[in-house]
Chains A and B, each alone.
Chain A
Amino acid sequence: MVSHVVSRVVRRVVPHVFPVPAMPADGPAMIRNRVLATLVALGVVGALAFGFVGFAPNRLLSGRPVALWDAVSAPVLWVVAAAWLALAAASLAPPGRGRDRLALVVGLGLVLALLAGAGEAATRLAATAPSPSARTSLGAGFWLMLFAAALAAVDALQRLAAGMALRALAILLVGAGALALAASGQLSELSLAKEYANRREVFLAELLRHVALVAGAVLVAVAVGVPLGLAAQRRPRTGGIVFGALNLLQTIPSIALFGLLIGPLSWLAAAVPALQDLGVRGIGATPALVALVLYSLLPVARNTQAGLASVSPAVVEAARGMGLTPGQILLGVEVPIALPVLISGLRIVTVQAIGLAVVAALIGAGGLGTFVFQGLGQNAVDLVLLGALATILLALAADLGFQFLLGLTRRSA
């Protein structure tokens, strides 16, 4: 099931995308940066062996691949080729900040050039098309090159040992560039953009719903999970019971859990009409929220417990011995020391909930999953992509936000 795969990918992959491990720089005498060389090879294969875009007479038929050189104008083709050449040259250059800076700038530029190129291809193909319902979708070649170019930039950031500020700047620049391209209409003939344009209002509403669902679930999970973690740390026997139960919950597959909640919640809503007025139903946001909270409890409680347990007993004894009250010890000493571990837990939980919330659309909770399932129903791949891409970007943004927070707490600790 595509949605499941998407949610899995978001949960598993996203937290690892940023810290790509830097590989040892030694290699064959000529190739000084093996990672970059591999990425260049990947990009070149993408350009030569796969369609840059797909062109179909309408949105329901699958398109025929169009090669890069047939799809874009000569200037764009030259820019893309020159960028790959520059990256290839950088992979041969001796290690140094100049080389890595070049790779960073070219990698980021290439991401934008590919986007612009895809937009241009769509516009050119649309002009030759017999009917306005013809569609240009992003091809395997585009994705491979985009992936390789983005990773080349990430690799360069890694090698430059870039701080949070430079990383954020790189992401902001690409984001702003992509937004500027979209705003200028350059991308509007792409099928993805058309799917978006057809659902502009709904998209914003579903995005906000998605965010609200995730934020609500994380807040409730913190409100319940932090005290649970605290209790588990204070009384190990309680901890055994708490973690046993939460572990069990974690093993229930998400779709099954969503389904399992329909029955009890419908019954509850029928039995207590006051709850019904609050919006509690067997389907919709309530079971989705409950399920997301249940999945989030374990990491929140576990990290709270681990964070508090990491506070040395000597520190707590010193605090008591100096006359801090139990409340002052918890809030002034234990929580601040545990904070980095706590925030790491929130990071995991938030990224996980963003992915899981896609599945929640199945039980009528709305959110970005709506597009994924509509697209699946209509066999419209670009609609699925609209939902999936937005989910991935949302997860990346959340991940980045938490990394930033973590950086702040580390600096003061």
Chain B
Amino acid sequence: MIELTRVTKRYGDKAVVDDLSLTVARGAFFVLVGPSGSGKSTTLKMINRLVGIDAGAIAVDGRNVRDMPAEALRRGMGYVIQSIGLFPHWTVADNIATVPRLLRWPEARVRARVAELIALLQLDAAEVARKYPHELSGGQQQRIGVARALAADPGIVLMDEPFGALDPITRDALQGEIARIHAATEKTIVFVTHDMDEALRLGTEIAILDQGRLVQCGSPADILRSPANDFVRTFVGGADFGLRLLGVTRVRDRLRPNGALAGPPVSPDASLKEALSLMIASRRDALPVRDGAGRSLGAVHLADLARA
């Protein structure tokens, strides 16, 4: 668990993080969003002490980070920076092995772990491990950056716009992978982005920052359904607002228990957005809902989607 209590950071006279209090629960996928310059990166870097704080306190698992040696604190947290920052003079394998080696793992264990991560991030092992970062594509480099942060199996991973400069397809694939890793390992992830759709897709909890202050914090559905003020409304709104709302609501919340329908079945855990897409693609205004075992649970109707 990470707790920020009334944290302030000033550069000159300007408070770039202003009286910020946040609680990141263990196992959360906590997303910090906000416009450029709102203090997201600064907040992330205060957690691993790359940036010092001027007031307030930050505690990790109940211990004030100031009471821990900075290097030890950082070795216990994964860190992915936006510009990737792979070491250009080391091979991919050596890059991934950075923290395990700092922690003096036995070499055999290091090598096994590197192989495991290369498989986890679906990088073909034999081909990639011995290459240097400049020989890789941007997407591969991003994956290595993530693998390097996960290498020593830290309980907490800090990620600063890790999929910033990627094409939509690679970005989508990497978002899927990180969601899968989070679900499988129950790590606590603090994730910075300024892309609202990325935040809604990945986050279990979203904090919206503006000019160094916390504007709203809650689950994706909370934020979409009851935005705290006009800033949040414009930030989460726009032309796609309705679709985003559909994206955070499950089919099981709009289930009608009526009889068997024809057409492609949809899972109760799918989002209403996926259901809508399927209705339009199959030219129907209702779809059968079936669970993983194929049992019929009812139907979802187009008319219900617009209901509050």
Contacts and interface: CB of A to CB of B under 8 A. Distances in A.
B71 A324 contact: yes
A413 B89 contact: yes
Given A322-B102, A413-B89, A317 B81 contact: yes
Contacts of A323: 70-75, 99, 102
A336 to B, nearest CB: 5
A316 B85 CA distance: 8
Contact of B89 (A316, A317, A412): A412
B85 A312 contact: yes
A359 to B, nearest CB: 39
Given A320-B50, A322-B148, A315 B71 contact: no
Nearest to B76: A323
Contacts of B72: 323
A325 B73 CA distance: 12
A315 B88 contact: yes
Contacts of A328: 102
A330 to B, nearest CB: 14
A321 B48 contact: yes
A315 B74 contact: no
Contacts, number: 63
A29 interface: no
Contacts of B48: 321
A383 B185 CA distance: 79
A297 B83 CA distance: 35
B85 A315 contact: yes
B99 A318 contact: no
A70 B75 CA distance: 80
A318 B79 CA distance: 7
Contacts of A315: 85-88
Nearest to B88: A337
A319 interface: yes
Interface in A383-413: 412-413
A321 B79 contact: yes
A286 B58 CA distance: 59
Interface string B78-119: 010101111111000000001100100000000000000000
Nearest to A339: B89
A236 to B, nearest CB: 18
Contacts of A337: 87-89
A3 B161 CA distance: 62
Interface string A24-45: 0000000000000000000000
A357 B81 CA distance: 50
Contact of B83 (A314, A333, A412, A413): A314
Contacts of A318: 79, 81, 84-87, 145
Interface residues of A, number: 19
Interface in B35-52: 45, 48, 50
B79 A322 contact: yes
A110 to B, nearest CB: 42
Contacts of B99: 322-323
Contacts of B70: 323
Nearest to A337: B89
A316 B79 CA distance: 13
A314 B75 contact: no
> Interface on chain A toward B: helix, strand, loop, or mixed SS?
helix
Interface residues of B, number: 25
A321 B41 CA distance: 13
Given A324-B71, A324-B102, A325-B71, A319 B50 contact: no
Contacts of B81: 314, 317-318, 321
Contacts of A322: 74-75, 79, 98-99, 102, 148
Interface string A113-136: 000000000000000000000000
Contacts of B45: 321
B74 A321 contact: yes
A322 B158 CA distance: 11
B88 A413 contact: yes
Contacts of A413: 88-89, 132
A317 B87 contact: no
B88 A317 contact: no
A319 B102 contact: no
A261 B194 CA distance: 63
Given A322-B99, A323-B99, A317 B85 contact: yes
B73 to A, nearest CB: 8
Contacts of B84: 314, 318
Contacts of B148: 322
User: Which among B71, B86, B89, B98 has the highest number of chain A CB atoms within 10 Å?
Assistant: B89
Most buried by B among A318, A324, A412: A318
Contacts of B85: 312, 314-319
A333 B87 CA distance: 7
Nearest to A316: B85
Contacts of B74: 320-323
A166 B57 CA distance: 64
Contacts of A319: 85, 87
Interface string A324-338: 110010000100110
Contacts of A316: 85
A20 to B, nearest CB: 29
Given A317-B85, A323-B102, 8 more contacts: A315-B87, A318-B86, A318-B87, A323-B71, A323-B72, A325-B71, A337-B87, A413-B132
24 contacts: A312-B83, A312-B85, A312-B88, A314-B81, A315-B85, A318-B79, A319-B85, A320-B74, A321-B48, A321-B50, A321-B74, A321-B79, A322-B74, A322-B79, A322-B98, A323-B71, A323-B74, A324-B71, A324-B98, A324-B102, A328-B102, A336-B89, A337-B87, A337-B89
